[in-house]
């Protein structure tokens, strides 16, 4: 999909936002992907990004990901 000239900036932003959104949803559920690479990112024919292969994912607990990972919201993570 990415040719010698690369992707147009608009496409990079559109895909990047979708990838970040997918990871934020996983993080909100306490899941860390741990193997994000180009082979684990697929763009379907509608231009929607899918993040695949959560085989190395790790469930984290202990309040590490309390609250939302929405960057527009104040952090709800409490530091000791």
Of 4, 28, 35, 46, which is the active-site residue?
35
- Distance between CA atoms of residues 9 and 72, nearest Å: 23
HSE value, Cβ hemisphere, 13 Å, CA-based, for 3: 3
DSSP string covering 37-57, please?
-GGGEEE-TTS-EEE---TT-
Q: Is 35 a catalytic residue?
A: yes
**Residues with a known catalytic role:** 35
């Amino acid at each position: 999909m990415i040719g010698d000239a690369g992707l147009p900036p608009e496409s990079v932003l559109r895909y990047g936002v979708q990838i970040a959104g997918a990871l934020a949803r996983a993080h909100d559920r306490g899941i860390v992907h741990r193997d994000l690479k180009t082979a684990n990112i697929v763009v379907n024919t509608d231009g929607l990004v899918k993040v695949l292969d959560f085989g190395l994912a790790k469930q984290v607990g202990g309040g590490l990901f309390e609250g939302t990972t929405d960057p527009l919201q104040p952090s709800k993570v409490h530091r000791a």
